[in-house]
Every structure is written in C-alpha cells, then in structure tokens.
Structure 1
Amino acid sequence: MSDLQGRTVVVTGASSGIGAAAVARFAELGARVVVVGRSPEKTRAVADSIKAEYHTADFSRLDDVRALAEKLRDRRIDVLANNAGGVFSGRRLTPDGHEMTFQVNYLAPFLLTNLLLPSLSEAQVINTGSIAYRFATLDLNNLDGLGGQRAYGAAKLAVLLFTRELARREEKLTATAFHPGGTATEVMREDSLLGPLMRVGRYFLPSAEKGAAPLIELATVADPESINGAYFNKHRRQEPTHKQVTDPAVGEQLWDISARLTGLHAS
C-alpha cells in the first residue's frame, strides 16, 4: 500500500454509502479529502465528521458538474474517485435532455474527469462500475434511449469503456474501474420497484465499508501503473469478455459521442 499522507483525494457520491465510508477511511490514512455529494445537509455532515472540505453538485445537471470542476481545477488531485450514481424509475430526462440514469452514472463523471484533466497529472482515476455491465448493450446511435435498470447497465458498460479509453489516451494518469458487490447503500433509492426491496435488503447485505474496501485498496496500490485500464470485481481483477468492451473502436466512438453530448470537443 502507498502512503496517502498529504495526498488530495476527491470522492463523488460521498454523502452516504460507499462514498461516505471511503472518505472516512481516506481521512484516517492521512489524505486531504474533498467530499462531493448531492445533498447539502448530508454532504456537510460527512465532511464535518472528518474535518474535510466539501462541495455539492447534482449530477443530473451538467452545469453543476462544470461548476464543481471550476472549484477544483486549480489544485493537484492525486485520486479522483468517480463514485456518484443512482437508478431512477422509468425513462426520465434531465434538464440537459439526457436520460437521467445514464447521465448521472456516466455522462456526468465523463465530463468531470475531462474538465479536471489539467489537475490529474500522475493521478489515479477510479470509477465505480457494476457487474450489471455484463448484461447490457450500448446503442451508439441512441445512448439516451433506455431507462431504469437497462439504462443503469448501459451506463456501467459505458463507464468500463471510458476507463479503458482514458487509460489509453492519457499517459500522465492511470484509470481503473471496480464493481463493489451488492452493498447496503442508497443507489436504488429512486427506483420505485427496487428501492423498497433494497431498504429491506440492506439489513442482510454487506456494509458500505465492505463495498468501499476495493476502492481503498486500489487507491493505495503501490504501483498504479500495474492496474491501469483494469477492471476489478470487488478485490479480484477480471478481464471483461463483453464484445463491446473488447472492441477498441467502440471505446473511441463512445468517447467522441460523449464529448459531443457533454459539450466537449471530440478528439
């Protein structure tokens, strides 16, 4: 494990669940933690508990993502943990005109990471993925066409493709994705069907601290280059076999489409 003393770690989706558990552990390891969450009250409470800086941002609004990047861009970031996410019932559109679940889980972290690239030299970008990617398919001609659980799977597939493409494009940073496993969190809270089930199931599921453990492990690995572009199922490295993940052309196309959808210049 590498030493986090004095290193700056930014964690999104940190007002509860895996993110809140992660920032607490990062603070114990000596990191300068930046807590990012949607709820002002919850985010402030988490930050106050570890005496950390905090910012609020609603990832269903890309202008919030741009404002967050503006606040963070003038510093060196050693670890960016793109952990924010959620599942929303049906097919809802954000104020930006994108499907809600897809934007919150993929387009927003894609935009944030790209806007922060000047601050991410020699940094680790760690993306929270999901095993749900295995059962999804991306329609590159209509990324916003799904909703609910299907959109969540597509978003997590996009996260994995983004991770691999980021690792390929950016030589001055490393990128890794991981599946935390079934965990007692609020990620399904907005889903009308699974939300109530998760509220019951959380009494039987592994704790948020266990879900955060792979993130802590990846952020403290001695040689980040050794896991660049990799995907982990909890603590175990896995090579994805999904046909879209293993096709480099899909990652390139997705990047350019995502850059257009988020207002970045495709390259």
Structure 2
Amino acid sequence: MTPTATERRNRTVVLLTGGTSGIGRAAARQLAARNVTVLITGRRRAKGEAALSEIQDAHPSGEGAFYRTDFAEQSDVRRLARDVQADFDRLDVLLNNAGTGQGERTLTNDGLELTFVVNFVAPFLLTNLLVPRLRESTPARVLSTVTVAQHDKAYDMREGDLSNLDAVATGESFELEQAYVNSKLALLLFTYELADRLAGTGVTAASVNPGLIGTTDITRNAPLGGTKVSHWIAALLARIAPLGPIETEATAGEMLVHHAMDQELPDGEAVYFDRWEQADPEPRATNQTLRDRLWTFTADLTGLTETGAMGKA
C-alpha cells in the first residue's frame, strides 16, 4: 500500500552512514521493516543503489534514499549534510556507522590519516552540521558505532593514545591496530562531549560496541596475519552460532536498530552500550580536559566555529 502524504510526514527519518554493506546494510533492512524512512550513504554508487533497491523490494511501502559520499573528503560530508536537510524537513536519528581500517598509512587530500578521518573527523563534522535539523526534530538521537571495547584483545580501547593529536591525525608512526583504536576512542570521547553540549535540547547521544563481526573494512584492509585470521575465524563462528562477543551481521544490525530506536537515553549524559547492555566506558571518555582538547583540535581541522553543537549548552 502506498503511504499517504500524512504518513510520510509522520515517519521517522534515520540517516545511516555506511549502510551499503555489513551491519549497516542489515540495520537498514530492519529499519525499513519498521516503516522508517532510511537514508544510507556509501562510496560506490552501484553498491548503494543495489542496497536501496534491496530494501525497497523487501518493503515496497517503505521510503529511502542513497547519498554517494566519500567520508575521506570534507567537501563530500558537507554536501551530504546540505542534501539531507534540503530533501527532508526532519531527522530523528543520525547513526554514525561508516568506518574503515587501513593496512598502511594512507593520507587524504587534506594530508590527514584516512582511518582517523573516516572513523572520527567525518562523523564529528557531519553531526555538527546536522545538529540544527536534529534539534528541530526532537526528541532526536545520535548513535555512533565504536566497534572496540575494553575486553577486545586486538583492539583494546585502553591502548589508545591521544596525547599527541597532531601525530594521530597525520598518521606518524602508523600502525593498523593503534590507528583504529585511536579513531574509535576519539569517537567515544566525542559522544560524551556531544551529549554534554546538547543537554536540554532534546537531542541525546550514545555509542555502541556491536561485538566482533569479522567482515568489516578493517578486516578486508588488514595485512595477512594474526589480526585478519582471527576475524575470519570470528566470522565463521558467528555464522554457525553467535557466542560471547561474536555477532552475525544480522544480529549486530538488530542491535544498532534497538539502540537507535528503542532505548531510553538520559538528557545531557552519553550512554555506552557493550553490545546489548549498557556498560562503563573507557575511563578517559569522561575526562573533561581530553574531551575539550579533542573538540577544539577537530573543530580547527574542520573549520567549524559557530554551528551545530560548537557552543556549550
């Protein structure tokens, strides 16, 4: 049945970055099943249009859109924010899920390390640019996928080191696991600072570690060795029977949707979910000095001054 104009206006709108593969694609399908208007992003147009077609074939009454976006390019992120706000007069959930992991040091056109940019700088910029529309759509939510936790052996957030942000941003002494952990620790810190800055606005913030999936970009780009083999094994086990921190793409997608749509979140205080349950974050996530320093540093990288959540609430 074709939805009426009123039904379209009343539908929840979710922007899901990285929705063309993996847990993002699984989450997009599940959001569509809830009659949510699903907006997905990806770098490859053919892949994105295929994902959107798959969603629409499964849910003919559903609505959605694909935006080709390369998160390595700040101009693409800015265009995405402009296009979404031009196309939709509401945005209920921003789900920062796009991510990558590079096997070797790769620099963007801005001279910044690619993993740090895609996993953290781009979500920082996109979120701030979309905060005005989120505030107009309250209650609204920002949920970010951090994909590492204190218990992960290879990607332990306690091993993150953001003491030299210039070195992290440019990839000096690049090492795969360290770069990935640093980018996700930064995203976690951002989530806590964002929640604080948006206190009282009706926009809440949370982050989630969906567990070990085994089929992510970081696995594909990792050099052949222990890290890649361990993820291959995890992926195989997940297909047979999810166990412990191991999830299938489908169950991890369901997890993202649950935290994005069903969980109650406190105002002005970020929440960290370790898979399905709320948990204590890496202790540095609540360190105000580090949060302020990271925010100021990234605002300078992106040229943000008076937009989104730049000012303290």
Do they superpose with TM above 0.5?
A: yes
**Partner residue in 2 for 1:164:** 192
**Partner residue in 1 for 2:252:** 211
**Partner residue in 2 for 1:262:** 302
RMSD: 2.0
**Partner residue in 1 for 2:118:** 104
**Partner residue in 2 for 1:18:** 23
Match of 1:150 among 178, 182, 197: 178
**Partner residue in 1 for 2:50:** 45
Partner amino acid for 1:191? A
Q: Which runs of 5+ in 1 are unaligned?
A: none
State the distance in 2 between where 1:33 and 1:245 align: 30
CA contact (8 A) 2:212 2:234 kept: no
> Bigger CA drift: 205-214 or 63-72?
205-214
1:112 match: secondary structure: helix
**Partner residue in 1 for 2:94:** 80
CA contact (8 A) 1:136 1:157 kept: yes
Q: Number of matched residues?
A: 262
State the distance in 2 between where 1:227 and 1:264 align: 22
1:204 match: secondary structure: helix
Residues 59-113 of structure 1 deviation map (CA, whole Å, 9 limit, x = unaligned): 1111111111110123311010000001001222111211111111000111000
1:202 match: secondary structure: helix
- The residue correspondences of 1:217-256 to structure 2 (distance < 5 A) are 217-221=258-262, 223-225=264-266, 228-242=269-283, 244-256=284-296
State the distance in 1 between where 2:233 and 2:46 align: 24
**Partner residue in 2 for 1:61:** 73
Partner amino acid for 1:187? D
Verify: 1:181 aligned to 2:218, yes or no.
Answer: no
State the distance in 1 between where 2:205 and 2:44 align: 27
Q: CA shift at 1:204, angstroms?
A: 2.3
Q: Which of these two proteins has the greater Rg computed from alpha carbons? A: 2
| Structure-2-length-normalised TM-score | 0.78
Residues 196-238 of structure 1 deviation map (CA, whole Å, 9 limit, x = unaligned): 6645652223310111222111122253337940101001111
**Partner residue in 2 for 1:91:** 105
1:89 match: secondary structure: coil
Q: Which runs of 5+ in 2 are unaligned?
A: 1-9, 57-63, 150-154, 239-246
CA contact (8 A) 1:37 1:43 kept: yes
Question: Identity over aligned residues, as a percent?
Answer: 34
State the distance in 2 between where 1:80 and 1:86 align: 18
> Bigger CA drift: 163-172 or 257-266?
257-266
State the distance in 1 between where 2:263 and 2:251 align: 21
